[in-house]
Amino acid sequence: MNPAAFDPSMDDLPSEYTPVRAPRGPTLQCRGWPQEAALRLLSNNLDPEMARDPEHLVVYGGRGKAARSWKEFHRIVEALRTLTEEETLLVQSGKPVGVFPTHPGAPRILIANALLVPHWATDEVFWDLEARGLTMYGQMTAGSWIYIGTQGILQGTYETLRALARREFGQEDLAGKWMLTSGLGEMGGAQPLAATMLRGCALVVDVDPRAIERRRKLDYLDAEARNLDEAIGSIRDALTDQRSVSVGLSMNAADAYPELLARGVVPDIISDQTAAHDLQIGYIPQGLIPATAAELRSRDAPGYLARVRSSIRTEAEAILELQAKGAKAFEYGNNFRAQAKASGVDRAFEIPGYVPRYIRPLFAVGSGPFRWVALSGEPEDIRRLDRRVIEEFREDRALVRWIEIAGKRVRFQGLPARIAYMGYGQRERFGHLVNRMVREGELAAPVAIGRDHHDSGSVASPYRETEAMRDGSDVIADWPILNALLNTASGATWVSVHHGGGVGIGNSIHAGFVLVADGSDRAEAAIGRVLNNDPGIGVARHADAGYEESIATARDARFRIP
């Protein structure tokens, strides 16, 4: 790599927004498929079909970005195009800062996003640094270049609601039940489809009618109601007819929830999936729409935040009252409870978190949101992989059922991709299968394999993934750092460490990886290490915390606990 590629005076690179789309097909723009995969997935994150606000490089989750600026995006692209198999690119909060000599088995890219010394890890300090161009909020899969659209959270939402149905209602799905929730953004947009996949009904409110329109176009939402009466009527009719339906309503949650309470309308399930972790832009207060909210923010930031906190308080109090009347309430990981408590709702944490109540049994055995992307851009590559998963994992009925449903009901965004909860042992088995299919020409091009940072052993987030750990180790952040170090040592194609994703600055540390299955012997060896070790550290983390199922899984694992 020519060091001049990192010269800040490279004024010939574009600095303004122009739409980008990931390259497709077998032709390489880089010197190998690992580098090509990074270029394609970075570009895919910012595809207008994928990103929430591509002009400003925002992918999802409030202000989660893929690169610090458009100039830095193009510098990353130029670095990837010339990166050799004996070099590693370092990316510091969305900015390429150096290419160093390593070796073919090392990661091609190492990424760190939004990391601050803990004493200074506050919103005020971080966003000031961000405004000065010194850092970037990478969320989770935005800044690690493995975002796959709303499908990326869809199965997690599906698994959460499936576990809720079993625990709260003693049934395998949500037939005959309905859910009230809010937020139809890049994460929250999964909620209505997950509910109807489980034969339930959902009423989802969002203050922005454009979000409702987008979810309908992507087939994540069935219908839009003109008012609350129509919305309630649609839900009641569907329940009477034993149908599932999802209904969107353009209304502020802080208006809708208290109004339903006043009418005595109690949902079976209640939650919130606004981007409440980022109060500056992620939660629109009562009486405002996105445009007027932006104007007030710029004119009177303290007054705006006061209105936000008042609205969160109103919504949280309504949720608690509906919970007292029988609704099964939970927070779905957006830091809503902490924001509500800071806004004056002392009982906010009486709303349970979804991980300790519903998902931890999966995390304890190394299961979590595993994903793969067809670098060819060919949907048929994903369909071929769907068929092989159904054939090869037929003993796992839950996995097979998910793949069958997703194949019928999930529309691809950007590069075709699939997500599935796979556990320890399954991921490695799948990875070898994919690499063999690439080598034997069954797929049109290599496949990028990764996961959400929201996983078994890759995150410390005491308001979400590590809430209420059995041994009280909720805030211990050694584990995601060990995860990143282990994936680096194991030969992942790229590895990332982030701060704050999903729950906000000061509230989490988390790590991710991507591994490219290109059919080579080198990829085969890396699969055997990475896809064993990455979920394995999740098993070890939970075994260390005292979970019996984790200890039992570790006894037969391909790693040792001293």
What are the domain boundaries of the chain? 151-358
* 356 Cβ contact partners less than 8 Å away, ≥ 6 residues apart: 467, 468
What pLDDT score was predicted for residue 186? 78
What pLDDT score was predicted for residue 10? 58
What pLDDT score was predicted for residue 383? 98
The structural architecture, per CATH, of the domain 151-358 is 3-Layer(aba) Sandwich (3.40)
Residues of the chain with pLDDT below 50 are 1-6, 8-9
Residue 331 backbone class (left: φ over 0; alpha: ψ -120 to 50; beta: rest): beta
What is the dihedral angle through the alpha carbons of 140, 146, 151, 152, rounded to the nearest 10 degrees? -40
The tokens of 288 are what?
A: 């405002």
pTM assigned to the model:
0.90
What pLDDT score was predicted for residue 2? 37
What pLDDT score was predicted for residue 4? 35
Q: Give the 3-state secondary structure of 203-268.
A: EEEECCHHHHHHHHHCCCCCEEECCHHHHHHHHHHHHHCCCCCEEEEECCHHHHHHHHHHHCCCCC
What pLDDT score was predicted for residue 153? 87
* 387 Cβ contact partners less than 8 Å away, ≥ 6 residues apart: none
